[in-house]
Amino acid sequence: AGSRPILVNSKSVPARIYRWQDLVAGSSVTGPAIVAAETLTCLVPPNWQMAQDEYGNGRLSRWQRK
């Protein structure tokens, strides 16, 4: 849904913006990113990822390259 700058350690970095309603179970978003919905805004920092589970919960974890 676009991008916008965010501050990370006092530096401006671009963050992709995702719409919560566009994500499905198994989706993952790698930071820096913002996941936005009507009632929430979730910041996904650099080197982190947010994965949506089968119940629609977002789970943040450190991102590990495979």
Tell me: the pLDDT tens digits for 28-44?
999 999 999 999 899 99
By three-state DSSP, how is residue 65 classified?
Answer: coil
For residue 19, give every residue at least 6 positions away whose Cβ sits within 8 Å of its Cβ, in sequence order, or none: 1, 35, 36, 37
CB 53 within 8 A of CB 25: yes
How large is the average pLDDT for residues 41-66? 89
Highest mean pLDDT range out of 31-35, 56-60, 61-65? Answer: 31-35
For residue 13, give every residue at least 6 positions away whose Cβ sits within 8 Å of its Cβ, in sequence order, or none: 5, 6, 7, 32, 46
CB 6 within 8 A of CB 43: yes
